[in-house]
């Protein structure tokens, strides 16, 4: 399915172009920032959208990806941070995988050194050359306990008719599999049953690099305050008190936007409370 421009489908999102045009429209000749150019304005606005995308108006994207043959899943190109990864059941619910920070994603050196222009090292300098590598996730030599090392961590809640493990309430921590984020290779290492071939990744995307950057109307004023603050922040002609005022205005607007967007309702609170009413076995 092609890209869907949600800015044309409702009034809850505002495009970057609209924010920029409104900003220039309301700029007066005696403003401190009246002589800025559009390229600078766009750059600052995009940085603002990126900033808001991280912790004010994060747009969570969900993407279904294949599990590669080496039990890895490539992260999306606009990935910033992971929210959840799981598989989708027949009931339409995502059953999340648990994070296991002990899944192995080691590599091994494969002979020759990397040419300087291979972008493997931190900088394209000869002294920063590193050896070529390839994936090697096989087990290491030596004694390895092949039994379940986490067996002892299972909480055995209730034993019925001497059947070990006949549980009324199952302990937490069980998932449909496990994953580990491998930022070195920009992918996920997956450990799950072999019949699962796809996972769903919910992640925070970099809104600033999307083809049509948007900002929620709740955060529109905060973005304008951010643009003004950032534009006058480094101008030597702007008085220090104006810079301070712009800074506090930005943080105030940001706080307001965050409060409006974190819409924790009364119904949500009641639902959470009612979850704690549970039935128990009767003797």
Q: CA–CA distance from 188 to each of 65, 84, 156, 191 (Å)? A: 11, 11, 31, 10
Which residue among 43, 104, 186, 248 contacts other proteins (CB under 8 A)?
Answer: 43
For other proteins, which is the closer residue by CB, 20 or 56?
A: 20
Asked if 235 is part of the footprint of other proteins (rule: CB under 8 A), the reply reads no
Please tell me the distance from the alpha carbon of residue 263 to that of residue 269, in angstroms, as a whole number: 11
Minimum distance from CB of 29 to other proteins (Å)? 5
Q: Which of 248, 258, 249, 246 is nearest to 218 (CA)?
A: 258
Is the Cβ–Cβ distance between 222 and 71 less than 8 Å? no
Q: Could you tell me the two tokens for 140?
A: 């290491």
Minimum distance from CB of 193 to other proteins (Å)? 39
Asked if 90 is part of the footprint of other proteins (rule: CB under 8 A), the reply reads no
Touching other proteins, residues 195-234 (CB under 8 A) = 208-209, 211-212
* DSSP single-letter state for residue 184: T
Asked if 46 is part of the footprint of other proteins (rule: CB under 8 A), the reply reads yes
For other proteins, which is the closer residue by CB, 237 or 263?
A: 237
Is the Cβ–Cβ distance between 46 and 185 less than 8 Å? no
Q: How many CA atoms are closer than 13 Å to the CA of 86, on its beta-carbon side?
A: 15
For other proteins, which is the closer residue by CB, 42 or 84?
A: 42
Asked if 37 is part of the footprint of other proteins (rule: CB under 8 A), the reply reads yes
For other proteins, which is the closer residue by CB, 47 or 260?
A: 47
Please tell me the distance from the alpha carbon of residue 144 to that of residue 134, in angstroms, as a whole number: 24
Please state at what angle helix 220-233 crosses helix 16-25, rounded to 10 degrees: 60
CB atoms within 10 A of CB 14: 18
CB atoms within 10 A of CB 245: 14
Asked if 8 is part of the footprint of other proteins (rule: CB under 8 A), the reply reads no
Piece in contact with other proteins (CB under 8 A), picked from 16-24, 114-122, 246-254, 260-268: 16-24
Q: Which of 104, 133, 128 is nearest to 116 (CA)?
A: 128
The number of residues making up the chain comes to 283
For other proteins, which is the closer residue by CB, 18 or 99?
A: 18
Asked if 33 is part of the footprint of other proteins (rule: CB under 8 A), the reply reads no
For other proteins, which is the closer residue by CB, 61 or 209?
A: 209
For other proteins, which is the closer residue by CB, 78 or 249?
A: 78
Asked if 39 is part of the footprint of other proteins (rule: CB under 8 A), the reply reads yes
Q: Which of 12, 49, 8, 44 is nearest to 263 (CA)?
A: 12
Q: Which of 95, 60, 64 is nearest to 79 (CA)?
A: 60
Asked if 42 is part of the footprint of other proteins (rule: CB under 8 A), the reply reads yes
Piece in contact with other proteins (CB under 8 A), picked from 35-43, 96-104, 188-196, 232-240: 35-43
Q: How many residues bind other proteins (CB under 8 A)?
A: 17
Question: What residue ranges bind other proteins (CB under 8 A)?
Answer: 16-17, 21, 29-30, 37-39, 42-43, 46-47, 50, 208-209, 211-212
């Amino acid at each position: 399915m092609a890209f869907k421009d949600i800015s044309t489908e409702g009034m809850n999102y505002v495009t970057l172009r609209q924010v920029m045009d409104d900003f220039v429209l309301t700029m007066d000749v005696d403003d401190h920032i009246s002589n800025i150019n559009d390229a600078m304005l766009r750059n600052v606005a995009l940085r603002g959208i990126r900033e808001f995308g991280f912790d004010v108006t994060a747009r969570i994207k969900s993407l279904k990806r294949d599990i590669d043959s080496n039990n890895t899943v490539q992260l999306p190109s606009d990935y910033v941070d992971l929210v959840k990864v799981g598989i989708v059941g027949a009931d339409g619910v995502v059953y999340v995988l648990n994070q296991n920070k002990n899944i192995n994603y080691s590599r091994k050196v494969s002979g020759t050194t990397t040419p300087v222009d291979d972008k493997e090292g931190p900088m394209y300098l000869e002294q920063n050359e590193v050896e070529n590598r390839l994936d090697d996730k096989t087990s290491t030599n030596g004694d390895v306990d092949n039994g379940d090392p986490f067996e002892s961590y299972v909480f055995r809640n209730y034993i019925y008719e001497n059947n070990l493990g006949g549980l009324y309430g199952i302990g937490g921590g069980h998932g449909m599999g496990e994953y580990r984020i491998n930022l070195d290779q920009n992918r996920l290492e997956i450990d799950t049953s072999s019949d699962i071939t796809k996972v769903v990744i919910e992640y925070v995307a970099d809104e600033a690099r999307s083809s049509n950057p948007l900002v929620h109307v709740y955060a529109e004023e905060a973005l304008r305050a951010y643009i003004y603050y950032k534009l006058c922040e480094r101008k030597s002609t702007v008085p220090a008190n104006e810079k301070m005022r712009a800074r506090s205005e930005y943080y105030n607007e940001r706080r307001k936007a965050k409060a409006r967007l974190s819409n924790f309702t009364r119904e949500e609170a009641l639902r959470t409370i009612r979850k704690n009413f549970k039935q128990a076995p009767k003797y």
